[in-house]
Amino acid sequence: MTLEQNVREVNSAFVAIKDKIVECGVEVAEGTHARDYANKVGEVFNEGKKSQYDEFWDNYQDYGNRTHYYNAFSLYGWTENTYKPKYDIKPTSATNMYWGAPLKKISYGNVKIDFSKCPTLNQMFQGANQIGVANVDVDVDCSSATEISQTFSYNPMLVSIKKLIVHEALTYKNVFSGSGYIEELQVEGIIGQDGFSIASTKLNRASIVSIINALSSTASGKAVGLSKTAINTAFETASGKKDGSTSAEWLALVATKPNWTISLAP
């Protein structure tokens, strides 16, 4: 082969490499020297990864149109390495949605998660085999639900619920049963029905106040349940005294809801 033929071969190869790089979605600016094509290999790889990410989540979330999220992120396969939703999540069906998922949190990037259109949120963050979501760091809006059942139950990993938005007609069934390590729970709205009972001994003072303040001022014959251990700690009169249930602050707080029976269990 002559020198001229060799040069033509090499140039032809460079063009083919450039075309293939561009075909893979990576830009090659005019005038880019062929030696710099090697630097583009990493970008091609990343573009491949992104296209695999896009392909999975475009389909799994139906290009953002998915609303039926029953069991969508349940059990062991969903970890920080796999739970990377692309589209906003606005389910109209969310039963078991994060059931037994070993996630530290459920927020992801800029993805908005909105439960306000779910008529049921049963078992949504329930644990399975002692595994479950640790921090529900988005609002759990129960506006469209009439009852919530076992939503946060049997989950010993669960320590924080950013905000539970309730309404006066909402009923509660074993919502927090078996989840004994919840420290934070902010309640917004009005608790108007029986069944709101949280036995976690770790519940902090702000959370307890939030729950009592949310109790309806007009409901009649209703009861709410809390942990006496949590009250004794949260309202203790001096560090270590564990006497909160007899403290003036606690008694003043419960006195603000004369229409409620407030029950404490160990």
Give the interface with other proteins as residue ranges (CB under 8 A): 95-96, 122-123, 147, 149-150, 173-174, 177-178, 194, 220-223, 225, 228, 245, 251, 254-255, 258-266
Token pair belonging to 240: 């270590």
- Residue with token string 């009861």: 223
Q: Which is nearer to other proteins, 64 or 119 (CB)?
A: 119
What whole-number distance in Å separates Cα of residue 112 and Cα of residue 117? 13
Q: Which is nearer to other proteins, 26 or 126 (CB)?
A: 126
Q: Which is nearer to other proteins, 134 or 226 (CB)?
A: 226
What whole-number distance in Å separates Cα of residue 53 and Cα of residue 248? 57
Instruction: Compute the least distance from the CB of residue 44 to other proteins, in Å.
Output: 46
Instruction: Compute the least distance from the CB of residue 202 to other proteins, in Å.
Output: 18
Q: Which is nearer to other proteins, 26 or 101 (CB)?
A: 101
- Residue with token string 């893979």: 24
**Amino acid symbol at 54:** D
What whole-number distance in Å separates Cα of residue 99 and Cα of residue 123? 7
Q: Which is nearer to other proteins, 26 or 175 (CB)?
A: 175
Instruction: Compute the least distance from the CB of residue 196 to other proteins, in Å.
Output: 11
What whole-number distance in Å separates Cα of residue 44 and Cα of residue 75? 33
Instruction: Compute the least distance from the CB of residue 192 to other proteins, in Å.
Output: 13
Q: Are 109 and 137 in contact (CB under 8 A)?
A: no
Of 60, 115, 76, 73, nearest in space to 93 by CA:
115
Q: Which is nearer to other proteins, 174 or 213 (CB)?
A: 174
Over the range 232-250, which residues count as b (16 or more CB within 10 Å of their CB) and which as e? Answer: bbbbbeeeeeeebbebeeb
**Across the strands, what pairs with 185?**
161
Length of the chain: 266
Instruction: Compute the least distance from the CB of residue 261 to other proteins, in Å.
Output: 4
Instruction: Compute the least distance from the CB of residue 141 to other proteins, in Å.
Output: 19
Query: Sign (positive/negative) of CA torsion 247, 261, 215, 258?
Result: negative
Q: Which is nearer to other proteins, 21 or 182 (CB)?
A: 182
Instruction: Compute the least distance from the CB of residue 162 to other proteins, in Å.
Output: 24
What whole-number distance in Å separates Cα of residue 230 and Cα of residue 83? 33
DSSP helix/strand/coil, 138 = strand
- The secondary element (H helix, E strand) that includes residue 188 is strand 184-189
